[in-house]
Amino acid sequence: MVAKTNFDVGRIRDDFPILSRQVRPGVPLVYLDSAATSQKPISVIESMDRYYREMNANIHRGIHKLAEEATQAYESARQRIAEFINAPSPEELIFTRNTTESINLVANSWGRAFLQPGDMILLTEMEHHSNLIPWQLLAGQLSLRLEFIPVTPRGILDLDEYQRLLKMGPKLVSLTHMSNVLGTINPLEEILPAAKSAGALTLVDGAQSVPHFPIDLSKIEADFYAFSAHKMLGPTGIGILYGKRELLEKMPPFLGGGEMIKRVELRSFTANDLPHKFEAGTPAIAEAIGFGAAVDYLSGIGMEEIEKSEKKLTGYALERLSQIPGLHVLGPGIEDRGGVVSFYLQDIHAHDVAQILDSEGIAVRAGHHCAQPLHTKFNLPATSRASFYIYNTEQEIDRLVEGIQKVKSIFA
Ligand code: C6P
């Protein structure tokens, strides 16, 4: 049988109108900031436009035709996203605003209901602030204890230390699947079963993983899994919290209001069934529909193909960047990482690097990337970061390398 591949970067690029724009006259865009947010294909933009033009109505409430169509489109998106990550059922997927809100939901609902003073939450040193601050807030309010799996100088988790920390009996292990700074893909197949054996629940921050490689929740034994649409070709303002049904059933609602109730009296209410129990108020309907279109687009290409092509591109970037004297890349080798490459140049501030690259039309991120403790650990105030997605090419990496050479020549 001839191997079938839908991966044709030229064709893919044609689906993203923004990629053909110039940043300034004569300076074409090289977008290397997809870890911050990805660009959107026409199919996603059109799906939201169609909703507003043809079926705009509130959902789950009306009995008229438009309300019926809008509800169907919204729930069909949930169904397709559930299939995309092979979740047991769509009712275990809660629409939130983003990964940050998904984690805050768990901290505030599960955390407040089930944690006691002195209980321990185990995080890692490579977490994004979204998986740090909600726990710091809760720890302050409930007198919890926070511990951290250390990151080694190579940029991977110290799993021996993890085993030792597990003996302290954490109630929850919450960690990122892929670091937004180091690119490290954490070995969940080792980490999650060990947490379960130690009696801890697990939460995985999938903001940087779901967009880039296949996620199969029937194999990943996570109790909670969070991600955002906007990093995987979808719109901003919508994300997912997956939670195991038996946990979500036991958790109290996070926000109160319309939609999350079955019956209300003046002094009490009965919560709605899953997933509506956690979706108070009018949701982001157009955004959910756009999210559905985004997973359709990714599935049309195939997540295995996407993973393969990003590995190749990242390998190329690592090789080219390693040839630049004075440039240091953070994180492990290609075997343990995804398409995020943070780097620094000796004696040149990351913001200067990003600014000069921008003058060449190259969009990278500079700063601590919302992972300040990790930068402090590596003794760096900031790094520059190039991050890749399905529409990037080796020619764009070459432009990045030329841009960095220009930075060096200016500061020489
Ligand atoms: N990281 C970056 O440039 P939200 O903003 O809620 O959609 O995603 C938060 C988040 C959580 N975890 C990880 C690992 C992330 O990378 C992010 C978002 C962006 O790296 C914006 S700060």
Residue nearest to atom 8 of ligand 1 (CA): 99
Atom of ligand 1 nearest to the CA of 127: 14
Q: Which residues are catalytic?
A: 370
DSSP bridge pairs for 123? 148
Pure H helices in 303-393: 303-322, 350-359, 372-377
Q: How far is the CA of 211 from the centre of ligand 1 (A)?
A: 12
- Across 207-230, average pLDDT: 98
Distance (Å, rounded) from C-alpha 357 to C-alpha 351?
10
Encode pLDDT of 69-109 as tens digits.
999 999 999 999 999 999 999 999 999 999 999 999 999 99
Atom of ligand 1 nearest to the CA of 239: 7
Other C-beta atoms closer than 10 Å to the C-beta of 399 total 18
pTM value?
0.98
Atom of ligand 1 nearest to the CA of 228: 7
* Confidence at residue 4, expressed as pLDDT on a 0 to 100 scale: 55
Which residue is it, tokens 């690097």? 353
Q: In the predicted model, is pLDDT for residue 114 greater than 50?
A: yes
Average pLDDT, the chain: 97
At residue 364 the predicted structure's pLDDT band, cuts being 50, 70 and 90, is: very high
Kindly compute the dihedral angle of the four CA atoms of residues 350, 352, 357, 360, in this order, to the nearest 10 degrees. Answer: 180
Return phi, psi of residue 17, to 5°: -55, -35
**In percent, how much of the chain has pLDDT > 90?**
97
* Equal fold, 9-37+303-411 vs 45-299: no
* Confidence at residue 5, expressed as pLDDT on a 0 to 100 scale: 67
Q: How far is the CA of 83 from the centre of ligand 1 (A)?
A: 23
Encode pLDDT of 281-337 as tens digits.
999 999 999 999 999 999 999 999 999 999 999 999 999 999 999 999 999 999 999
* Confidence at residue 1, expressed as pLDDT on a 0 to 100 scale: 47
**In percent, how much of the chain has pLDDT > 70?**
99
Return phi, psi of residue 363, to 5°: -95, 110
Pure H helices in 94-211: 99-106, 112-114, 133-142, 159-166, 188-197
Residues flanking ligand 1, CB < 6 Å: 35-36, 98-100, 128, 130, 176, 180, 205, 207-208, 228, 365, 369-370
Tokens for 93, please give them.
């997927």
* Confidence at residue 245, expressed as pLDDT on a 0 to 100 scale: 98
Encode pLDDT of 5-34 as tens digits.
668 999 999 999 999 999 999 999 999 999
* Confidence at residue 55, expressed as pLDDT on a 0 to 100 scale: 97
Residue whose CB lies within 8 A of the most ligand 1 atoms, among 208, 225, 236, for a mutation test: 208
At residue 61 the predicted structure's pLDDT band, cuts being 50, 70 and 90, is: confident
Q: How far is the CA of 138 from the centre of ligand 1 (A)?
A: 20
Q: How far is the CA of 154 from the centre of ligand 1 (A)?
A: 22
Angle of the 303-322 helix axis to the 394-411 helix axis, nearest 10: 30
User: 9-37+303-411: which CATH architecture?
Assistant: Alpha-Beta Complex (3.90)
Q: How far is the CA of 207 from the centre of ligand 1 (A)?
A: 6
DSSP string, 48-114: HHHIIIII---SSS--SHHHHHHHHHHHHHHHHHHHHTT-S-GGGEEEESSHHHHHHHHIIIIIHHH
Q: In the predicted model, is pLDDT for residue 3 greater than 60?
A: no
One of 3.30.70.2080, 1.10.3720.10, 3.40.50.300, 3.40.640.10 is the CATH number of 45-299, namely 3.40.640.10
Tokens for 365, please give them.
């991120």
Encode pLDDT of 172-188 as tens digits.
999 999 999 999 999 99
CB-based contact 334:318 (threshold 8 Å) = yes
Other C-beta atoms closer than 10 Å to the C-beta of 68 total 14
Sequence spans of domains, the chain? 9-37+303-411, 45-299
The SS3 assignment for 135 reads: helix
Residue whose CB lies within 8 A of the most ligand 1 atoms, among 34, 38, 96, 99, for a mutation test: 99
